[in-house]
């Protein structure tokens, strides 16, 4: 398979030339990541790959390590059929979240993607508020978002639910898909062009693996049952992996996201809530916080039903979360800078003074 079929573009061609690779290096694309090894696709085939010692030494946090969809510079190592990863090429796009827990660090879920399929089932797990959260990340990723509503046979009113989702995601394509019967699957295929890459994102049990099996034409991902009491499913997909569809497009399947904490989505939030921003321009005061100020156009819109209270609450929650994250990142940067200078000063104290040599 040639590089173009793997997703290589002029963007990566320029990045490769700027890298000035060693003579034995070749470009490869990461199609799966396990604990210690990655699977990398090259023009010569698919191989296991391990990060070189120099790469590991120079890498920063986990966001600088290869993830599924990344392009890397690799060479054959001393071990038979094992590649060595020397460098990570710049990403044309990336879908990220904050790592679960209290650590203020980025986790890249998929890289170099063209389309982000945000999947939500129409059963009890249906949540426009969750999709607003995903959309914030999608817009900042550089990929085009598309919303897929699965399991229409389990929804109380598929037409009404689709309308509700379209209201929560103005301007974003919304399609109803039945992964079991194939109804509506053509809408997904229309967004998958040869050489392009898409990613499936959603919580457990929404039907990502079922949809992928439908697109592939064969069952390559195990599917599991969903609990009837809370519409939750188990992680039938255990790791991220990139698959080649029959039409030449690539799809990255992800384990279900139990949580999706925001990471640097300030601009994405503005795109997700254009109605709120448009109304804010009509507030009496330019620095209106939309709380108790007189002449607040946003509060008036919430009160008269122009904006639903749930959508307004979602906007406030996401803005607050983003502001908190920015403070945490700033504190982390300040602490790392303090440690850096402390180390430098300690090193200087150990240096012999002039005249003592």
The whole-number pLDDT of residue 123 equals 86
Q: Is the pLDDT of residue 189 over 60?
A: yes
**Distance separating alpha carbons of residues 227 and 149, to the nearest angstrom:** 18
> Is 94-253 the same fold as 3-88?
no
**Distance separating alpha carbons of residues 335 and 345, to the nearest angstrom:** 15
The pLDDT-based confidence of 42 (bands split at 50, 70, 90) is: very high
**Distance separating alpha carbons of residues 107 and 54, to the nearest angstrom:** 21
**Distance separating alpha carbons of residues 262 and 252, to the nearest angstrom:** 20
The whole-number pLDDT of residue 354 equals 56
Q: Is the pLDDT of residue 33 over 50?
A: yes
Arithmetic mean of pLDDT, 284-312: 88
Helix axes 309-350, 128-141, angle to 10 degrees: 50
- CATH topology for 94-253 is Rossmann fold (3.40.50)
Annotated domain spans of the chain? 3-88, 94-253
Q: Is the pLDDT of residue 342 over 60?
A: no
The whole-number pLDDT of residue 191 equals 92
Tens digit of pLDDT for each residue in 209-256?
889 988 888 777 655 454 444 444 444 545 789 999 999 999 999 876
Helix axes 128-141, 158-168, angle to 10 degrees: 50
- Which carries the bigger pLDDT value, residue 35 or residue 127? 127
Q: Specify the DSSP element, H or E, that contains 346.
A: helix 309-350
**Distance separating alpha carbons of residues 299 and 331, to the nearest angstrom:** 33
**Distance separating alpha carbons of residues 172 and 143, to the nearest angstrom:** 12
Q: Is the pLDDT of residue 100 over 80?
A: no
The whole-number pLDDT of residue 243 equals 94
Q: Which residues contact 215 (CB under 8 A, 6 or more apart)?
A: 185, 188, 189, 192, 245, 251
Q: Is the pLDDT of residue 129 over 80?
A: yes
The pLDDT-based confidence of 177 (bands split at 50, 70, 90) is: very high
Query: Which residues is 198 bridged to in the sheet?
Result: 115, 251
Q: What is the pTM of this model?
A: 0.81
How many helical (H) and strand (E) elements, i.e. helices and strands, does the chain have? 11, 13
Strands 115-121, 38-42: parallel, antiparallel or unpaired by DSSP?
Answer: unpaired
Q: Which residues contact 324 (CB under 8 A, 6 or more apart)?
A: none
Strands 174-177, 144-150: parallel, antiparallel or unpaired by DSSP?
Answer: parallel
The whole-number pLDDT of residue 226 equals 47
Domain 3-88 in CATH: superfamily?
Answer: Nucleic acid-binding proteins (2.40.50.140)
Arithmetic mean of pLDDT, 293-298: 89
The whole-number pLDDT of residue 235 equals 43
Tens digit of pLDDT for each residue in 59-80?
877 889 999 999 999 998 776 7
Torsion 23-111-171-261 (CA) sign: negative
């Amino acid at each position: 398979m040639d590089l173009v079929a793997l997703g290589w573009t002029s963007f990566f061609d320029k990045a490769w030339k700027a890298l000035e690779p060693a003579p034995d290096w070749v470009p490869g694309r990461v199609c799966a990541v396990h604990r210690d090894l990655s699977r990398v696709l090259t023009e010569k085939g698919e191989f296991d790959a391990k990060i070189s010692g120099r790469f590991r030494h120079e890498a920063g946090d986990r966001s600088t390590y290869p993830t599924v969809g990344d392009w890397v510079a690799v060479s054959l190592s001393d071990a038979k059929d094992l590649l060595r990863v020397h460098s990570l090429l710049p990403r044309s796009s990336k879908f990220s979240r904050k790592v679960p827990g209290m650590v203020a660090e980025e986790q890249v879920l998929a890289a170099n993607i063209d389309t982000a399929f945000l999947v939500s089932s129409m059963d009890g797990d249906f949540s426009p508020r969750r999709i607003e959260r995903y959309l914030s990340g999608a817009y900042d990723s550089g990929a085009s978002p598309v919303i897929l509503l699965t399991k229409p046979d389990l929804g109380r009113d598929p037409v009404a639910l689709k309308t509700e989702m379209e209201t929560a995601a103005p301007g974003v394509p919304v399609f109803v898909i039945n992964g079991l019967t194939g109804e509506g699957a053509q809408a997904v295929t229309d967004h998958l062009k040869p050489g392009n890459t898409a990613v499936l994102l959603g919580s457990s049990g929404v039907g990502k693996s079922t949809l992928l099996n439908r697109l592939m034409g064969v069952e390559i991902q195990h599917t599991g049952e969903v609990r009837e009491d809370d519409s939750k499913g188990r992680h039938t997909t255990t790791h991220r992996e990139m698959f080649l569809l029959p039409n030449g497009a690539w799809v990255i399947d992800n384990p279900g996201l139990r949580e999706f904490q925001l990471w640097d989505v300030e601009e994405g939030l503005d795109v997700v809530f254009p109605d709120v921003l448009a109304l804010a321009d009509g507030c009496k005061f330019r620095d209106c916080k939309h709380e108790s100020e007189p002449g607040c156009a946003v509060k008036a819109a919430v009160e008269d039903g122009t904006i639903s209270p749930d959508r307004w609450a979602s906007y406030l929650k996401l803005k607050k979360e983003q502001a908190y994250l920015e403070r945490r990142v700033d504190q982390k940067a300040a602490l790392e800078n303090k440690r850096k200078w402390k180390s430098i000063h300690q090193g200087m104290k150990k240096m012999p003074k002039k005249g003592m040599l």
